[in-house]
Amino acid sequence: MRPRSCWDTIAGVTEIRLLTDEAQYRAHITLFRRAMHWGPPSDEQWAVTLPSYEPDRVLAAFDGDEMVGTTQSYGSSLVVPGGARVPHAAVSRVGVRADYTRRGVLTALMRAQLSSLPDPVATLRASEGRIYGRFGYGLAGRVRIVEVDTRRAVIRGDMTGRVRMLDQDTADKLLPELHEAIGLRRPGQISRWPGWWARQRDRKTEAENSVTVVHSGPDGDDDGFVTYKVKEEKEFKHRLSVEDFEWANDDAWRDLWIYLTRLDLVNHVENHVALDSPVSWLFEDPRVVYTKDVFDEIWLRLVDVPRMLSARTYGAAEAVVIEVQDALLPANSGCYRISPEGAERVEEQPDLTIPVDLLAAVYFGDVTFSQLAATKRITGTRLADADALFAVPEKPICGTFF
Ligand SMILES: CC(C)(COP(=O)(O)OP(=O)(O)OC[C@H]1O[C@@H](n2cnc3c(N)ncnc32)[C@H](O)[C@@H]1OP(=O)(O)O)[C@@H](O)C(=O)NCCC(=O)NCCS
C-alpha cells in the first residue's frame, strides 16, 4: 500500500507555474508525450507543434526546478443549445511524469487551471474514464463508430452536386476557411484554432494516403468536405477511415456518403457519427451500417455555472429550481431557477440537487434528469419538468479531435 503521508508531502511542495517561453514549451510537450508513452518530438514535429502553444494557457507542475506534470488549453468557442457560441477552453496535453503519479500532481494542476481559465467552459477528451469526474467534468456527449459494408451499400439516386479531390497544399489553404463558412450546427461543436490546423496538417503528412474531397452544390459554392485515409486489408480490398467530415446541408451530407461508398476497391467505410445520425436510413438495406462502438467524446466542465446556464435556451415547462453542488469551484454552488425565459440565481428551496459533473452531463441533452435519477446521484422531484426544460432536439457531437 502506498504511504499516504508521502503523497501529501510531495503534493505540498508541488508548485504550478505558467510557462512562457519556447524552451519550456518544448520540455512541456516532451513530458506530456512521455506520459503517453510516445517519444520526444522531432525538430520537424516541434516546428508544427509550436503554434499550438498559446501564451497564458500553458501550465506545468514543478518539484523544485524539475517539471513533473503538464496541462494546457487552446482558446476556441463552443456551441450551446439554442445556437449561441461561448468562449471555450479546449484542455489538452495533460500528463504527469510516471515517477510522480498518484501524489496529487494532476489535482494541483486541475485546481490551478480551472481557477485561472479566462473562459466560462472547458472540454477535453479523456484517455481514461475515471480521471476527470472528480474535477467536475461530466460525460456530456458520445459518438458512434459505424462501419459500412460498401459491397452491399446502395443509395438510391445520384449526387445533386459534385465532388473534387484537392492536393495537400490546396486543402491546407481551403479547409480552415471552409470549416468556418460551413458553421457549427450542433451543440458540442467547437471552432478550430490555427494550431489545430497546423497539427492536423502534420497528422496528414504522417498518415499514409490521406485524401481530402470537397463538395459543391449546383450553384458551385463549396458546402462540405471529407478527409479520409485508406488502408489495404487484403489484396485489392481496402478499409477507408474518415478523419474529418463536415457539411452545411443535407445534399452535401448525402453526396459525400455516396462518394465514400462508391469508391472502387474499398470494402468498408468507417466513420464517427452522432448517436442520432440518420445514416442507416440512407441505404436501401439499413443493415449495411453496423455500429462498432459507442464511446465518450465530450467531457464538459461548466467553469462559470451562472454564465453557462444563461447562455443556453430552454424548452417549454414549469420553472424548476436546481441546486448545484461544486466543491472545487464553490462560487458555482447555489440554487438556480430555470424557466423557458432563462436561468437566474435565487435563494429558494430547490426542487432538485445535482453535482456539477452531472449538470454537465444533462447540459447538451445527451442524458436526462429522469435517467440520471436512477443513479441516485441526483435527488429531488420535478424530474419531468427539468427534462422538458433541458431537452435538445439533436444529440451533441463535437467532431473535432484535440
Ligand atoms: C492521468 C494522470 C494525469 C493522473 O495524474 P496523477 O498526478 O497521478 O493524479 P492525482 O494523483 O492528482 O490523482 C487524483 C485522484 O485521481 C485518481 N486517478 C488519477 N488518475 C487515475 C487513473 N488513470 N485511473 C484511476 N484513478 C486515477 C487517483 O488515484 C487520485 O484518487 P484519490 O485522491 O482517491 O487517491 C497520470 O496518471 C498520467 O499522466 N497518465 C498517463 C497520461 C494520460 O493518460 N493523461 C491524460 C490524457 S487525457
- Which of 330, 398, 364 shows the shortest CA–CA distance to 136? 330
The CATH homologous superfamily for domain 4-119 is Gcn5-related N-acetyltransferase (GNAT) (3.40.630.30)
Quick: pLDDT tens for 303-360.
999 999 999 999 999 999 999 999 999 999 999 999 999 999 999 999 999 999 999 9
Q: What are phi and psi of 64, to 5 degrees?
A: 65, -125
Q: CATH classification of 144-297 is 2.60.120.1440, yes or no?
A: no
With H, G, I as helix, E, B as strand and everything else as coil, classify residue 397.
coil
Distance in Å, CA 346 to ligand 1 centroid: 36
**94 labelled ligand-binding:** yes
Domain boundaries, the chain: 4-119, 144-297, 304-390
Whether 4 shows a pLDDT value over 60: the answer reads no
Q: Are strands 266-274 and 289-302 parallel, antiparallel or unpaired?
A: unpaired
**Is 228 a residue whose pLDDT tops 80?**
yes
Q: Residue 37 burial (CB < 10 Å; 0-12/13-18/19+)?
A: exposed
What gap in Å lies between CA 318 and CA 357, rounded to an integer? 24
* DSSP result, 95-120: EE-GGGTTSSHHHHHHHHHHHH-SSS
Q: Is 392 annotated as a binding residue?
A: no
The predicted-structure confidence for 363-385, as pLDDT tens digits, reads as follows 999 999 999 999 999 999 999 99
Q: Is the pLDDT of residue 158 over 80?
A: yes
| Residue percentage of the chain with pLDDT more than 90 | 90
Q: Is 18 annotated as a binding residue?
A: no
Place of cell 503554434: 51
Q: Provide mean pLDDT across the span 95-100.
A: 97
Tens-place pLDDT, residues 187-220:
999 999 988 998 887 776 666 678 999 999 999 9
- If one looks up domain 304-390 in CATH, what number appears? 3.30.1050.10
Is residue 50 within 6 Å of ligand 1 at its C-beta? no
Q: Catalytic residue among 25, 32, 53, 132, which?
A: 132
Residue 402 annotated among the catalytic residues of the structure: yes
Which residue has 507542475 as its cell numbers?
61
Tell me the backbone φ, ψ of residue 221, rounded to 5 degrees: -80, 135
The answer to whether the CB of 105 falls within 8 A of the CB of 59 is no
Which residues face 11 on adjacent strands?
Answer: none
How big is the CA angle at 124 (ends 252 and 70), to the nearest 5 degrees? 135
Query: 14 CB less than 6 Å from ligand 1?
Result: no
Residue 290: active-site member: no
Which strands sit side by side in the sheet containing 320-325, from one edge to the other? Answer: 342-346, 334-339, 320-325, 352-355, 379-380
Residues 6+ apart with CB under 8 A from 189: 78, 79, 397, 398, 399, 400
304-390 has the same fold as 4-119: no
Place of cell 432563462: 342
Whether the predicted pLDDT of 6 surpasses 90: no
Residue 67, phi then psi, degrees to nearest 5: -75, 130
The predicted pLDDT at position 207 comes to 65
Choose the residue to mutate in 102, 110, 113, 125 for probing ligand 1, maximizing ligand atoms within 8 Å of C-beta. Answer: 102
